Structure formats: C-alpha cells, structure tokens
Amino acid sequence: MGKLISINEAIDIVLKETNILGTEKVRIINSLGRIIAQDIVSPFDMPPFRRSAMDGYAIKFDDLSFTRIFEIRDEIKAGEVKDIKYEKGKCVLIMTGAKVPEDFDTVVKFEDTEEIFENGERKIRILKEIKRFGNIVERGEDFKKGDVLIKKGSVIDSGYMAIIAYCGIDEVSVYKRPKVGIIATGDEIKKIGEKLREGEIYDCNSYSIYGLVLKYGGEPEILGIAKDDNKSLKSYIEKGLKKDILILSGGVSVGKYDFVVDVFNEIGIEMKFWKVAIKPGKPTFFGKKENCLIFGLPGNPVAVYINFENLVRPAILKMEGANNFERFKVSGILAEDIENKGDRDEFLRVVLKVENGENIVIPYKKQASGIFTSITETNGILFLRKNERIEKGQKVIVEIYK
Amino acid sequence: MGKLISINEAIDIVLKETNILGTEKVRIINSLGRIIAQDIVSPFDMPPFRRSAMDGYAIKFDDLSFTRIFEIRDEIKAGEVKDIKYEKGKCVLIMTGAKVPEDFDTVVKFEDTEEIFENGERKIRILKEIKRFGNIVERGEDFKKGDVLIKKGSVIDSGYMAIIAYCGIDEVSVYKRPKVGIIATGDEIKKIGEKLREGEIYDCNSYSIYGLVLKYGGEPEILGIAKDDNKSLKSYIEKGLKKDILILSGGVSVGKYDFVVDVFNEIGIEMKFWKVAIKPGKPTFFGKKENCLIFGLPGNPVAVYINFENLVRPAILKMEGANNFERFKVSGILAEDIENKGDRDEFLRVVLKVENGENIVIPYKKQASGIFTSITETNGILFLRKNERIEKGQKVIVEIYK
C-alpha cells in the first residue's frame, strides 16, 4: 500500500523522476519570469568607457593646487566622443554618460560651481571641496567583458531584462514551460455554475492549483471533475497523461485509494509513493507514466496548497531548468508556544511581520487542513518536526511563500 | 526650475494626481494578479455542513464509556447525505468531506482502528485514545455566510482564486490595467540590433521599465528611442500621451532639462515636480496632461529602477485600485557601518539573508547609480536619511523589493 516516507525522501524521489524540458528562444520582451537556458556573458566592459556620472565640468585635479576658476573650453554631450587635450586651467563641460577625455581625471558637478564672467570670458568657479576622480566611473567598474552576468538557470526578472538588453541581445534561450493538466475528483465536487445540492461543494482546488502553476511558470489547463467511478476517472486521466505533469485533487485518501490505484494500475501509472509523513497532506500520491509525472493530492484545500508548494513546485522548477529551489527565508521571534503532538512533521501557516522593530512570527490560530483562511491570511510556513515543541520568544526560521 | 522636494512629498503629489481606472469583468482563470474591484462575500458557511475531516467511523462519544467495539451499520461517501439515526454501539463508515449525521459527534480515523469479526459480523475496535468532537469540522468553522472573504482592492493570488471558485463565482470585477508607454532618450542610446559606435550604449532602461510595469500589473509598450532634438522627442511624447502613464528615461538632468522642459511646455504638459532630494534619482520629473501621468526618470539604470519602485509603482497600484501599497518589510542586523554623507535621503541596495539564525543586512559594496549589479545582486532597500549614520550590529528595517 506504499510506506509512509518523510518529506525530504518524497522531494528527492520527485526530483529524481523529473527531467529538464527542452529549450526555446523568446524575445526579450516576452522573457519576464522565464528561466534562462544560457549564460549571459558581457560583450563589453560596463561602463564601456570612463564616463561622467554627472552633468558638470571635467578638470585635471592637480589644477586645483593653483586655481578654483576654470575657463570652459569645449562641451561634450552624451554619445559624443571628443578627444580634448588638457590645457592648464581649462575645463570641459560634460554630460552624464559621456566619455571623459583621457587628460582629465575629475568631474565637478554643476551644483558645486557657479558661472562667472572674467575678462569677458565665460568661466566657472568651484564652490566646494572636490575629490580626485570624483564623479567618474572607471571603465569596467561594474563588470568586464567576458564576465558572466546571468547564470544559466536564473529567473529573468526586470533587472536581468535590463542586463540582457544592455548586452544587445534580443532573443534569449529559455527552458520550456511544463504543460500541467488539472483534474478534480469526487462525486460531491461540482463545477462553477452548476446547482449545489446538500453535501456538495464547488471545485476550488483546481483553481488554486491553476494559480500556483502560473505562479511558478507552468502552463495549466483545467481538465474537469472526475466522478468516483472507474470509467470517468480513467477517461480524465488518459487525457491528462499527454501533459508533462498531471495533478489530481481528492480521491487519494485511505477510503478511496483502492479504487484510484486500480485505475492507476490499469492505465500503467507506476506508483513512486503514496503517503508522506506530513501534516497537512499525508495521503499524497506520486507516480509516473513515460514522461508524465502524476501527483494525487488530498481533497482538503490547505493540504492541496501546501503539498503543491512542497512537491509540485520543485518538479515544475526542475523541468524549467531552475538552478535554485530555495524560498526566501526570514528569522523571527515566535509569538506563542507551539507543539506538534502528532506523529508527522507539520507545516504551520504563520504570519511574519515587523512589530516594534522585531520580526514576529504569529502561528495562524486555525491549522486544520480544511481552513482556507490559514492560507489566505498568512505569508509564511514554519516547519515543525513531530514531537517538537518551541516556546514563545524563541527564534524560528520561516519560509516566505507569498 | 522646480524646487527640491522630499520623497514623501513627491509620492503624495503623484498619488494626488492619480485616478483609479475603471473596472472590467474577467473569468476566474484570467484573474491571477489582478486587483479585485468587488468584495467577495461568502454565499454559504464554510464548511457548509458539519463534516468529517478524515476517512473513518462516526460514533457517539458517550458510547466509549461502555465499549471500544462498534458494529458498522452503514457507509456515507463524500457528496452523499444520509440522515442515519443513532443506535447504541453502532458506528457509520464515513469519508473525508462527507456530512456527519446529527446524532454522531466524533469521527475515529481508520488508522486508529482495526477491523474484527465477532459473531460473523464486521466490526471495528478502537485502538487509541479518542477525543470528543475529534475529526469533525463544525459548520461555519472557517467562515460564515455573509463574511467578506476578499476585500475590494486586494490582489488576487492563488489562494483567493480558490476562494472565488469556492463561492461559485466564474466572473469577477477587476480594475483595468494601466497602459504604459516607454520612451528612452539620448543620442548615445541605440536600439538592440544596431551597431554601436564608441560612446554609445544599448537602451536597457526601457526593458527594466517594461519588466517592472508587467510585475505591477500594467500593460507596457516600448515606443522607441528619442533623439536629443525637439522634433524627435515631441513626436515620441505625443504618441505616448495616449497612454495612462508615459515614462521617459534619460534627458531630465540639469544639462538637458531646458530642452526637455521646452518640449513639455510646447506640448502642454504641466510640471508637478522635477527634483527629488533622493539618491539615486534626484533629477526626476513628474507632470500631467489630461489623464496621462508623465514620469521623466534619469538615465542611470539604478536610478530608473529605484525611482520606478518609489514613484511609478504607487501610481500604477493606485490606478489599479489597490488597497495596500506597502512592501514586505523585514528587520535585520546591519553587517557594517553605513553613513549618508550627502544632502539627500538615500536608498541603499542591500542583501538580507539568514546567517546562523539571524537576519543579516549586507549593504551592496558599490552604490553608484550606474552600477547595474547593485540591483540584480540584492533583494532589499534600506532607507538612509541625509546625514544619518548607522553602526554595524544595529537593527534596521529593510523593504524587500524582489
């Protein structure tokens, strides 16, 4: 019937069975959130030349030893390159981003000067203390030609989009997004729009799964609601096996298992595990047929959510070629005693927020796996081992999942 | 020429000039990340009936005073409603999610029982200590009919998608997404694909702006690169004024300002401010023409990024009807002394991470506004007032911006 395994064993099995999908090219404007399948190597130094960080006047610093008044002898706009030679006591008006001519070593910004007229000539007087090399960004100060600016497997965010553009690249190689089929199961589950009879509820799990698949970069499709009968379930699953990942919710708990596993067997899905020693979400099936991964999540909405985060998310990220599966972690102070009396490791939903300068971790008051609001009203997950007890005031590490 | 104002004054002016856009209907599967324009009120209790949280056996708890062996008299599947009356010493097999008949008050999960045969009858023996009301979720325990489950102005995430579906709603009212035009300016800026001459660089700011607009839910369009001449700039700006927001990068620093403001004036754009006392990003223009907001950001990529986060983000979120503009904040311990010697408030880019159980805040070593990697290699912003000095080991609050 499948033995009870730990969450880490379960994740290891999932990752072992997951293969990276192929790659495709996308234009930079379509790349946000995609995982890059190539290193981005800088084709030039950044900045590409020694440039002015300010609108101001380029001077030779040593001139300050005898004068604070400079004659303006020329002007360089951004984009212009002028190789102006040094002349004693003369400066060059220069714009932000322009290349500073070799003979000059310091830029004095407009605000630190005043314009004066002396002998009918337009000059400037420097009003403040100036530092040698001030307002000059050296060639290659940020990065150098050949530096790897974005590592293969990184998620392309807006900052990386700028870097790709800076390198003059319009098309990047990214990993394909997994296609994910979603099936709800259960005679009591109704489709939105249908009339509910007593004991029935609308399918909500398919929609949280849909949203989570999108969040992690997959391409979700809701396939429908299978009845608790062999024929209905089989026909939905067969449709779903054309996807890279198939996720079912409901129908995998002890009571229904024999029926579902019969269908899985008939179809040729190989079971890898079925129970994980975690709370919520113990009855969680994972299997494989050819290249399709099959996740059977429990019916409770919280268990669906947490197990998606724990088990499906790593599979999606691995298919997409991600080089980092870690969530953002924050340390905080526990606001009340917590204890896991059960025999399974627990994923407590918590709120982490700053109060009086401290990060406070507040466990959500209702942790039952049917309690929707324990997902919608929280932002973090606190992992609590079986039999573990942590007292109020202790430091804990929370994974931020929103 | 526009006086120097504080960042808070600037944000207040932006918000004052920003109007909420209209609303539209979207199907639930297209709602992820949209801002909801209606309250979602629960049409029923959750759970809608007193239900079993486990696959197991419903019993009357008081029976345990005389027996631990129960005869199984009936079976209730999820979705089935059976009003089974109590009979002394008898239990009902019940599935997760099924309605528990009124006469029963406790569910014993399968794992806590064994099946036995006594006098030819199929019975169960309870193996563990049982709690009264165990494994039963009371009707309305999570929320009640009439409760506001999602407040108008909230961002729809995957958890909220589940709630909307749970309520049986297929179409929700959301705020429209602002259309945002993006223009780069400067003779030295070249389009990807063009050949660079010395002193020229590719347009990267348009792409970080594009990504940021998408991130915050707007609809970006890159309009092109305007030359530093009146005619070119005017024609791009006129195209951009059809959008809800127009963002220019470059061309608003002191040296170029007279030229740009001439064009703005000719076109009839009313200036609201032009300089903000912040580092990076001091020369930042904000104006309005009819319903179009115009942001003129500096040319440096870091200043573009930070000022987008500080000034454009609130405008986009307000147009979209958001009820919360706050970023996620985390408290941490500063890893080294920092000091703002300048005369402007500063937005330091930092890395916040957990080390030995503590949140450590590491200021990025290069804070110049041309240093790309100060954006791509960090995850937080630390606000440092002018003349403020904070010593290593002090607690600081960081805004997480990624």
- pLDDT-based confidence at residue A255 (cuts at 50, 70, 90): low
Could you say which of A55, A163, A256 has the minimum Cβ distance to residue B253?
Answer: A55
Residues 6+ positions from A365 with CB-CB distance below 8 Å: none
- Span B116-143, mean pLDDT? 91
Rounded CA separation B402/B211 (Å): 12
Q: What is the reported pLDDT for B258?
A: 58
Residues 6+ positions from B93 with CB-CB distance below 8 Å: A255, B56, B57, B72, B74, B75, B76
Q: Which residues of B touch A80 (CB under 8 A)?
A: 187-188, 199
Q: Phi/psi zone of residue A215: left (φ > 0), alpha (ψ -120 to 50 degrees), beta?
A: alpha
Chain A nearest C-alpha distance from B226 (Å): 13
Residue A257 has pLDDT above 80, yes or no: no
- Span B303-312, mean pLDDT? 96
Percent of chain A having pLDDT more than 70? 98
Residue B255 has pLDDT above 70, yes or no: no
User: Average pLDDT, whole number, for chain A?
Assistant: 93
Q: Confirm if A299 and B78 have CB atoms less than 8 A apart.
A: yes
- Span A329-346, mean pLDDT? 95
DSSP bridge partners of B179: B219
Residue B53 has pLDDT above 90, yes or no: no
Give A163-197 pLDDT, tens digit per residue: 999 999 999 999 999 999 999 998 889 999 999 99
Q: Do B371 and A142 touch (CB under 8 A)?
A: yes
Q: A7 is written with which tokens?
A: 């969450």
Could you say which of A79, A166, A193 has the minimum Cβ distance to residue B188?
Answer: A79
Chain A nearest C-alpha distance from B9 (Å): 22
Q: What is the reported pLDDT for A252?
A: 58
- pLDDT-based confidence at residue B182 (cuts at 50, 70, 90): very high
- Span B273-280, mean pLDDT? 92
**What are chain B's domains?**
4-22+176-319 (3.40.980.10), 26-44+142-175 (3.90.105.10), 51-137 (2.170.190.11), 329-400 (2.40.340.10)
Rounded CA separation B93/B56 (Å): 6
Residues 6+ positions from A55 with CB-CB distance below 8 Å: A94, A95, A96, A109, A110, B253, B254, B255, B256
Q: Do B253 and A305 touch (CB under 8 A)?
A: no
Could you say which of B81, B170, B402 has the minimum Cβ distance to residue A157?
Answer: B402
Q: Do A208 and B162 touch (CB under 8 A)?
A: yes
- Span B164-184, mean pLDDT? 97
Which of A71-85, A225-239, B17-31, B97-111 has the weakest average pLDDT?
A: A71-85
- Span B115-139, mean pLDDT? 91
Chain B nearest C-alpha distance from A179 (Å): 16
Q: Which residues of B touch A223 (CB under 8 A)?
A: none
Q: What is the reported pLDDT for B317?
A: 98
Chain B nearest C-alpha distance from A63 (Å): 24
Give the distance from CA A190 to its chain's centroid: 34
Tell me whether the omega of the peptide bond preceding residue A47 falls within 30 degrees of 0, making it cis: yes
What is the gyration radius of the CA atoms in chain A, in angstroms?
Answer: 31
Q: What is the reported pLDDT for B187?
A: 86
Give A191-218 pLDDT, tens digit per residue: 999 999 987 889 999 999 999 999 999 9
Q: What is the reported pLDDT for B270?
A: 95
Residue A12 has pLDDT above 90, yes or no: yes
Q: Do B330 and A330 touch (CB under 8 A)?
A: yes
Helix (H, G, I), strand (E, B) or coil at B186: coil
* Strands in B186-251 per DSSP E: 189-190, 201-202, 219-226, 245-249
Could you say which of A209, A298, A330 has the minimum Cβ distance to residue B359?
Answer: A330
Q: Do B158 and A208 touch (CB under 8 A)?
A: yes
- pLDDT-based confidence at residue A258 (cuts at 50, 70, 90): low
Q: Do B53 and A369 touch (CB under 8 A)?
A: yes
Chain B nearest C-alpha distance from A19 (Å): 26
User: Average pLDDT, whole number, for chain B?
Assistant: 93
Q: β-pairing, A136-137 with A90-94?
A: unpaired
- Span B81-102, mean pLDDT? 92
This model's pTM is above 0.80: yes
Chain B nearest C-alpha distance from A226 (Å): 13
Give B348-385 pLDDT, tens digit per residue: 999 999 999 999 999 999 887 778 899 999 999 999 99
Q: What is the reported pLDDT for B298?
A: 87
| Cα distances (angstroms) measured from residue B6 to each of A249, B13, B60, B213, B344 | 52, 11, 68, 24, 9
Q: How many pairs of residues across A and B have Cβ atoms under 8 Å apart?
A: 313
Helix (H) or strand (E) holding B132: none
Q: Which residues of B touch A299 (CB under 8 A)?
A: 78, 96-97
Percent of chain B having pLDDT more than 90? 78
At B286, which amino acid appears? F
Q: Which residues of A touch B376 (CB under 8 A)?
A: 149-150, 157, 159-160, 163
Is B38 or A229 the better-scoring residue by pLDDT? B38
Is B300 or B269 the better-scoring residue by pLDDT? B269
- pLDDT-based confidence at residue B20 (cuts at 50, 70, 90): very high
Could you say which of A46, A162, A357 has the minimum Cβ distance to residue B208?
Answer: A162
Q: What is the reported pLDDT for B198?
A: 82
User: Which chain A residue has the Cα nearest residue B197?
Assistant: A79
Q: Do B159 and A372 touch (CB under 8 A)?
A: yes
